Structure 1
Amino acid sequence: MPRRSYDQYCAAARALDAVGDRWTLLIVRELLGGPRRYTDLHADLPGVSTDMLATRLKDMERDGLVARRRLAAPASVSVYELTPRGRELLPVLQALGEWGAPALGERRPTDAVRAHWLALPVLRELAELGEAGVLEVRLDEGEFYVLVGEEAPRYGDGRYEGEPDARVTLDAEVGGAVARGELGFVAAVRAGHAQLTGTGSLANALTSSPLGD
């Protein structure tokens, strides 16, 4: 299928040529957490058909956003991962999430949710703290971890394989407020609305004087 284009000499239009189709940016959101198998991507993108997901991944490979590779034995499975060009979309997704947060409202019965979908605003706030480290975040829906500092910021689904520098636990009410942009993640920790464990520099930065002081 030929590539569709707005045929406009405008940087925003060129960007939308590559990422403006339905599901593309949500696939990027999932792959920002690291390489994923097709079946894992499908499981964490409720509502996407198998045909649509396959088509979008092919489009993203063609446009240089995604690469596919086969893991070495004993795994021997194919995974999709973002290229450096694809990873550059992290701040784009963070900005979209910040803009869209007020529209979330209360969760509807039909709304799917995954713990790691909260990683984007958490990553943004941690980057502003300026401390390197690994933070594990636990919610009712599950866990995710974020890495900030010396390497490119990223997140992963599930628990961190090693020992994180700090852990934060949010209940459903506080997690929802953070997702909607009503309460900052760091502000929630500093106000005592979240449980924090850890003694390193990252934990200290999370518990330092309230924001704005």
Structure 2
Amino acid sequence: MPRRSYDQYCSAARALDTVGERWTLLIVRELLAGPRRYTDLHADLPGVSTDVLAARLKEMERDALVTRRRLPPPGAAYVYELTARGRDLLPVLTALAEWGAPALSERRPTDAVRAHWSAIPLLGLLRRHDGTLEVRLPEGTFHLRLGHDAPSYADGPAEHPDAWLALTDGTALALEQGRLSLAEAVKTGDAEVGGDTPLAAALRDG
């Protein structure tokens, strides 16, 4: 299927030719956590049809944003993972998350939620810190690899976290929207920081 284009000699238009289709950037969001099987992607992208997901992944392979590879036995499943060019979209998603945070208000009954959807906003919020941070939310756990070189995140607990951060319901959003600082959240009990490391101390100080 030929790619649609804005046919404008403009870098923003060229970028949107590649990532402007519905679901593309959300697929990138999922793959920033690491290689994922098709079934895992479909489970964490509620609302996308199997046909659309398959089509978007093919387009993203064509545009060198993702690659598909087979895991060695005993896994023997195919996974999708971002290329270096795909991972370069993290700052784009971070900026979009910061811009979109004020639009999040009361959660609607139809809204899906996953714990790791807070990872990219928190990466932006905690960008000046360094180390591995395990984040515990009521919906689940993920971890952030903080630092200026290659910030990233992954699902589940960290193997050897430098610190952990537990947030109560709604606190992550309040932090993202700037309605609450991390130091204030720790003081009120809406956030708890664990660990005896420079990262833990820096987080407690906000």
Give TM-score, length-normalised by structure 2: 0.94
Q: Please say if 1:31 is aligned against 2:28.
A: no
Q: CA deviation at 1:159?
A: 1.4
Distance 1:203 1:94 in 2: 23
Q: Secondary structure at the match of 1:172?
A: coil
Name the structure 2 match of 1:169: 166
Rounded to whole Å, the distance in 1 between the matches of 2:64 and 2:166 is 37
Q: 1:150 and 1:176, CA in 2 relative to 1: closer, same or farther beyond 3 A?
A: closer
Residue 59 of structure 1 aligns with an amino acid whose one-letter code is E
Tell me which moved more, 49-58 or 193-202: 193-202
Report the residue type matching 2:35 in the other structure: P
Letter in 2 for 1:89: L
Q: CA deviation at 1:152?
A: 1.1
Amino acid at match of 2:175: V
CA-CA distance at 1:17 after TM superposition: 0.2
Q: Which residue of 2 aligns with 1:92?
A: 92
1:33-48 correspondence to structure 2 within 5 Å: 33-48=33-48
User: What amino acid is aligned across from residue 166 of structure 1 in structure 2?
Assistant: A
- Please show how residues 105-184 of structure 1 align to structure 2 within 5 Å: 105-129=105-129, 131=130, 133-149=131-147, 151-160=149-158, 162-184=159-181
Does the 8 Å CA contact 2:44/2:114 hold for their aligned counterparts?
yes
Q: Give 5+ residue unaligned stretches, structure 2.
A: none
Residue of structure 2 in register with 1:193 after alignment: 190
The share of aligned pairs that are identical, in percent, is 64
Q: Aligned runs of 1:1-16 on 2, under 5 Å?
A: 1-16=1-16
Q: Could you tell me how far apart the structure 2 residues matched to 1:112 and 1:29 are?
A: 15
Supply the AA of the counterpart residue of 1:61. Answer: E
Aligned residues: 206
* Offset at residue 188 of structure 1 (A): 3.1
- Give the C-alpha shift of residue 122 in structure 1: 1.1
User: Does the C-alpha gap of structure 1 residues 103 and 88 become closer, same or farther in structure 2, counting only changes over 3 Å?
Assistant: same
- The verdict on how the C-alpha distance between 1:191 and 1:151 changes in structure 2, with shifts beyond 3 A counting, is farther
- The answer (yes or no) to whether the contact 1:189–1:206 under 8 Å persists in 2 is no
| C-alpha spacing 1:124/1:19, structure 2 compared with 1 (3 Å) | same
Contact kept, 8 Å, 1:24 with 1:56, in 2: the verdict is yes
Which residue of the partner structure matches residue 22 of structure 1? 22
| Contact 2:37–2:78 (8 Å) recurs in 1 | yes
In the alignment, the residues of structure 1 paired with residue 57 and residue 182 of structure 2 have an alpha-carbon distance, to the nearest angstrom, of 32
Instruction: Work out the CA distance in 2 between the residues paired with 1:94 and 1:126.
Output: 11
Cα deviations across residues 149-171 of structure 1 (Å, max 9, x unaligned)?
375111011112x1211111111
Q: Counterpart of 1:63?
A: 63
Which piece of structure 1 moves more, 187-196 or 84-93? 187-196
Compared CA separation, residues 48 and 207, structure 1 to 2 (3 A): same
Tell me, in whole angstroms, the C-alpha distance in 2 between the residues paired with 1:181 and 1:84: 31
Q: Is the 8 A contact 1:37 1:78 kept in 2?
A: yes
Q: Tell whether the 8 Å contact from 1:94 to 1:120 is kept in structure 2 after alignment.
A: yes
- Return closer, same or farther for 1:84/1:110 CA change in 2, 3 Å cut-off: same
Unaligned runs of 5+ in 1: none
Deviates more, 1:148-157 or 1:188-197: 188-197
Q: Per the alignment, in what secondary structure is the counterpart of residue 3 of structure 2?
A: coil
Structure 1 residue 148 displacement after superposition? 1.7
